[in-house]
């Protein structure tokens, strides 16, 4: 019997999803230890989450990121090359870094080396050397990267978007810093930041893999016994500036043959109660390949290879943005179509076929998003960082599966704001400025701070 490929196969009910249970302990210095055994493979990973991210930079953009990256670049007894050799010898991977809400250290290895990998992570975090040569090397590396990035319209647009959307706010500048901020940092600056913010109180160590809690906990206690707690300083962010009308900003790159478009406005926090409806609404708008934005700008108009929309959620409200790259000559038309699709989400109910397809797409992704130990470790970090309980992902999946067309429309009307957005374009100003005047007064972004 011939297979009829015009008939879509009938789907089945998604498999049930339950996030695995973990054990939790707290050390005397305030460090919380989360252990999730997984004996499928002979490997183990440790992920240390410290709830002080780039938001703590204030106006010293890049300081947290630089400090956290240097943690894996050498200790008081081991050089960076010795650490790299030791990590390789245990089949491991060591990294440190930061995001907006937290800094982290991560190491993985074969499970038979679990004590060695744990000790190496603890030594990196508790006894970093911050060698002058390493500090200067990383600063120079970032300065060179920024210099090269100025040739990218995408980078210019994203940089200008932050400056326009969050003036005089910690979210204004990139996590990795700017030339102006990076040139002010010294070893003393970094050491002071480390002593103030890298501490055990409210920090989480996630242990995941081929491990037994009774066996590993004494080693954890020994490895982090020297980490002394300090009073934790609460903080708040400035009130976001009001956007009274659409702002049009061009980051000029005179030799550009394409434009990088960012249409953005202020968003919501990670713990917003309407998040299930927001996720479904944004996916329909621009969150997957079959989205309205992609079908319009890519499939119908041929303006771009791809376009996406995203809510960047953090502990504090982040932003909503649509991002795409188009040819210079269709820049204005692309912006017009993006606004058309955003406003279209606010006008009428989404059809049931689209709604069901998107809900199934999102629900069906859940099992594959938690398959690997790295994915589980990341998910656990998210649960603990944002204060979610162990049923959060299961509950979110069920809530997404029940989102209605009315809830999607309500989310679009509440959390999309096309009349108070910034329109930021990186590209050739002489060609695109006339096309953008229809959306408001055009301002040229001063890129001297990049």
Neighbouring C-beta atoms of residue 401, cutoff 10 Å: 16
Q: How far apart are CA 426 and CA 155, in angstroms?
A: 8
Between the ranges 55-59, 168-172, 235-239, 324-328, where is the mean pLDDT highest? 324-328
- For 224, the token pair is 């982090």
Q: How far apart are CA 426 and CA 433, in angstroms?
A: 11
Using CB atoms within 10 Å of the CB of residue 179, give its burial: 0 to 12 exposed, 13 to 18 middle, 19+ buried: middle
Stretch 36-65: mean pLDDT? 93
* pLDDT for res 318: 93
CA dihedral 353, 359, 365, 366 (to 10 degrees): -160
Buried b (16+ CB within 10 A) or exposed e, 139-148: beebeeebee
In whole numbers, what is the pLDDT of the chain averaged over residues?
93
Q: How far apart are CA 279 and CA 96, in angstroms?
A: 29
Residue 108 scores a pLDDT above 90: yes
* pLDDT for res 240: 82
Question: Residue 218's pLDDT band (boundaries 50, 70, 90)?
Answer: very high
Domains in the chain, start-ordered, CATH in brackets?
A: 23-223 (3.30.830.10), 247-449 (3.30.830.10)
| Strand partners of residue 423 | 248, 263
* pLDDT for res 31: 96
* pLDDT for res 372: 85
* pLDDT for res 125: 97
- Specify the pTM: 0.92
Which H, E and C letters describe the chain, residue by residue? CCCCCCCCCCCCCCCCCCCCCCEEEECCCCCEEEEEECCCCCEEEEEEEECCCHHHHCCCCCHHHHHHHHCCCEECCCEHHHHHHHHHHCCCEEEEEECCCCEEEEEEEEHHHHHHHHHHHHHHHHCECCCHHHHHHHHHHHHHHHHHHCCCHHHHHHHHHHHHHCCCCCCCCCCCCCHHHHCCCCHHHHHHHHHHHCCCCCCEEEEEECCCHHHHHHHHHHHCCCCCCCCCCCCCCCCCCCCCCCEEEEEECCCCCEEEEEEEEECCCCCCCCHHHHHHHHHHHHHCCCCHHHHHHHHHCCCCCCEEEEEECCCCCCEEEEEEEEEHHHHHHHHHHHHHHHHHHCCCCCCHHHHHHHHHHHHHHCHHHHCCHHHHHHHHHHHHHCCCCCCHHHHHHHHHHCCCHHHHHHHHHHHCCCCCCEEEEEECHHHHHHHHHHHCCEEECCHHHC
Q: How far apart are CA 285 and CA 293, in angstroms?
A: 6
* pLDDT for res 1: 63
Q: How far apart are CA 349 and CA 116, in angstroms?
A: 57
- For 358, the token pair is 């998107």
* pLDDT for res 18: 83
Question: Residue 259's pLDDT band (boundaries 50, 70, 90)?
Answer: very high
Evaluate whether 345 touches 281 at the Cβ level (below 8 Å): yes
Evaluate whether 79 touches 33 at the Cβ level (below 8 Å): no
Question: Residue 11's pLDDT band (boundaries 50, 70, 90)?
Answer: low
Residue 164 scores a pLDDT above 90: yes
Evaluate whether 392 touches 18 at the Cβ level (below 8 Å): no
- For 119, the token pair is 């000790």
């Amino acid at each position: 019997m011939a297979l009829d490929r015009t008939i879509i196969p009938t789907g089945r009910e998604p498999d049930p999803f339950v996030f695995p249970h973990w054990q939790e302990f707290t050390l005397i210095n305030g460090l919380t230890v989360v252990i999730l055994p997984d004996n499928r493979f002979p490997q183990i990973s440790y992920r240390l989450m410290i709830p002080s991210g780039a938001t703590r930079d204030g106006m010293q953009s890049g300081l947290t990121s630089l400090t956290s990256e240097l943690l894996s670049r050498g200790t008081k007894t081991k050089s960076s090359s010795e650490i790299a050799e030791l990590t390789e010898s245990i089949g491991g991977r060591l990294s440190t870094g930061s995001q907006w809400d937290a800094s982290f250290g991560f190491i993985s290895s074969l499970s038979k080396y679990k004590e060695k990998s744990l000790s190496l992570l603890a030594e990196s975090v508790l006894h970093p050397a911050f060698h002058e040569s390493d500090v200067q090397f990383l600063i120079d590396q970032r300065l060179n990267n920024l210099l090269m990035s100025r040739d990218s319209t995408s980078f210019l647009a994203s940089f200008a978007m932050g400056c326009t959307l969050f003036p005089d706010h910690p979210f204004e500048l990139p996590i990795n810093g700017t030339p102006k901020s990076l040139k002010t940092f010294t070893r003393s600056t970094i050491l002071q930041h480390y002593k103030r913010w890298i501490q055990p109180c409210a920090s989480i160590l996630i242990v995941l893999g081929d491990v037994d809690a009774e066996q590993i906990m004494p080693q954890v206690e020994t490895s982090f016994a020297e980490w002394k707690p300090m009073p934790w300083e609460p903080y708040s962010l400035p009130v976001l500036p009001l956007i009274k009308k659409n702002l049009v900003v061009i980051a000029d790159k005179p030799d550009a043959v394409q434009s990088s478009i960012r249409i953005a406005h202020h968003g919501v926090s990670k713990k917003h109660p309407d998040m299930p409806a927001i996720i479904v609404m944004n996916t329909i708008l621009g969150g997957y390949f079959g989205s309205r934005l992609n079908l319009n700008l890519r499939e119908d108009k041929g303006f771009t290879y791809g376009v996406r929309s995203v809510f960047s959620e953090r502990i504090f409200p982040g932003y909503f943005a649509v991002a795409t790259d188009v040819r210079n000559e269709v820049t204005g038309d692309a912006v017009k179509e993006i606004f058309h699709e955003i406003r279209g989400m606010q006008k009428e109910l989404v059809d049931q076929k689209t709604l069901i397809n998107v809900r199934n797409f999102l629900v069906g992704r859940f099992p594959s998003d938690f398959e690997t130990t790295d994915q589980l470790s990341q998910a656990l970090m998210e649960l603990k960082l944002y204060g979610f309980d162990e049923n959060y992902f299961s509950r979110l999946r069920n809530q997404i599966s029940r989102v209605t067309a009315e809830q999607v429309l309500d989310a679009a009307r509440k959390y999309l704001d096309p009349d108070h957005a910034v329109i930021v374009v990186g590209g050739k100003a002489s060609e695109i400025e006339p096309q953008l005047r229809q959306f408001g007064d055009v301002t040229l972004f001063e890129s001297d701070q990049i």
